[in-house]
């Protein structure tokens, strides 16, 4: 969504008019959340992150569904600020003019949705832009909540760094210099996690964020789904990320 989206009306129209069964958003401001609640869909939401800027700002993860949401659970992520090195804290301070800030109260969300055919567990996940090992740990902790007896969909921004253009962020944000040099290591590891959890990444290799030159955004699906079509949409609708979708059968 991008919390400072400059085209909220057009973004709202895009969501309202989209032909979807399940729609997941991250970085939803509170005012936009109130608008989403007026739409004729089932909705579940939780705190994505609380930005300790001036003023403080709470952003949300939101899952919309045409089918009933029969269960949901919010899973908190750890607070990393106390364990981050001094260089990271200085970097965040220097990046304040570019809308960086200290954050807290991060969570992820899953919902169980009852369709006409079965029940599907849908994760809405926004992993931290921080050290590689912490991002991977967050993904693995979310996947520990999978139910092996029902199909799974995992949506969200994983912030996976896989381009030399942005790999220096791994060091500034607390990681070792090896994470800068071996910038594709995170992609290799997380794709193995997908396989271990019997998930497919139909958009692998696609760029969903132009500056990062990477696939930050994902829709993963269980092997039980047949993938009919997947696409990165060209219109960012006011966000810095491209919307993505996967059509299944």
Q: What is the pLDDT of residues 125-164, one digit of tens each?
A: 999 999 999 999 999 999 999 999 999 999 999 999 999 9
User: What is the number of domains present in the chain?
Assistant: 1
* Structural domain contains residue 39: no
Helix-helix angle 185-196:132-143, to 10 degrees: 10
pLDDT one-digit tens code per residue, 43-97: 999 999 999 987 889 999 999 999 999 999 999 999 999 999 999 999 999 999 9
Categorise residue 104: left if φ over 0, alpha if ψ from -120 to 50, beta otherwise.
beta
And the tokens for 213? 């030159």
Work out the average pLDDT over 212-228.
96
H or E element at residue 246: strand 244-248
**pLDDT reported for residue 117:** 84
Is residue 199 in a domain? yes
With H, G, I as helix, E, B as strand and everything else as coil, classify residue 228: strand
The per-residue pLDDT for 59 is 97
Residue-level pLDDT at 55: 85
- C-alpha distance from residue 228 to each of 31, 202, 248, 249 (Å): 35, 10, 5, 7
Residues β-bridged to residue 84: none
Token output for 234: 């060209």
CATH code of the domain in which 108 resides: 3.60.10.10
- Whether 203 is covered by a domain: the verdict is yes
Give the tens place of pLDDT for each residue, 163-203: 999 999 999 999 999 999 999 999 999 999 999 999 999 99
The C-alpha atoms of residue 12 and residue 228 are separated, in whole angstroms, by 26
- Whether residue 11 has pLDDT greater than 90: yes
Contact 48, 61 (CB under 8 A): yes
Average pLDDT, the chain: 96
pTM summary value? 0.95
- Per-residue pLDDT band at 223 (split at 50, 70, 90): very high
Looking at the domain assignment, is residue 160 inside a domain?
A: yes
What Å distances lie between residue 236 and 25, 123, 162, 240, CA to CA? Answer: 13, 22, 21, 7
- Please report whether residue 97 resides in a domain: yes
Cβ–Cβ under 8 Å, residues 244 and 217: yes
Q: What is the pLDDT of residue 249?
A: 87
What is the 3-state composition of the chain as percent helix, strand, coil, each rounded to the nearest 5?
A: 25, 30, 40
Residues 6+ apart with CB under 8 A from 85: 174
Q: Which two tokens stand for residue 142?
A: 């979310």
Q: pLDDT value at position 58?
A: 96
Is residue 226, in this structure, part of any structural domain at all?
yes
Neighbours of 144 (CB within 10 A): 8
Asked whether the predicted pLDDT for residue 116 surpasses 90, the reply is: no
Kindly tell me the sign of the dihedral angle through the C-alpha atoms of 201, 205, 206, 208: positive
Contacts of 53 (CB under 8 A, 6+ apart): 96, 99, 101
Residue 126 lies inside a defined structural domain of this protein: yes
- Could you tell me the residue range of the domain that residue 138 belongs to? 70-248
pLDDT at 54: 79
């Amino acid at each position: 969504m991008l919390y400072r989206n400059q085209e909220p009306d057009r973004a709202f129209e895009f969501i309202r008019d989209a032909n979807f069964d399940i729609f997941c958003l991250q970085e939803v401001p509170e005012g936009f959340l109130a608008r989403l609640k007026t739409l004729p869909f089932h909705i579940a939401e939780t705190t994505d992150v609380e930005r300790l800027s001036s003023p403080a700002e709470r952003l949300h993860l939101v899952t919309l569904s045409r089918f009933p949401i029969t269960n949901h659970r919010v899973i908190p992520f750890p607070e990393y600020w106390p364990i981050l090195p001094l260089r990271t804290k200085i970097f965040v301070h220097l990046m304040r003019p570019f809308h960086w800030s200290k954050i807290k109260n991060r969570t992820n969300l899953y919902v169980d949705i009852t369709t006409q055919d079965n029940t599907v567990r849908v994760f809405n996940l926004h992993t931290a832009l921080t050290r590689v090992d912490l991002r991977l740990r967050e993904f693995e902790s979310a996947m520990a909540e999978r139910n092996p007896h029902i199909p799974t969909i995992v949506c969200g921004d994983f912030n996976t760094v896989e381009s030399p253009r942005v790999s220096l962020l791994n060091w500034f944000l607390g990681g070792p210099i090896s994470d800068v040099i071996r910038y594709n290591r995170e992609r290799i590891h997380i794709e193995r996690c997908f396989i271990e959890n019997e998930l497919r990444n139909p958009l692998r290799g696609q760029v969903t964020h132009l500056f990062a030159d990477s696939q930050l955004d994902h829709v993963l699906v269980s092997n039980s789904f047949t993938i009919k079509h997947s696409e990165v949409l060209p219109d960012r609708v006011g966000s810095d990320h491209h919307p993505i979708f996967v059509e299944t059968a």
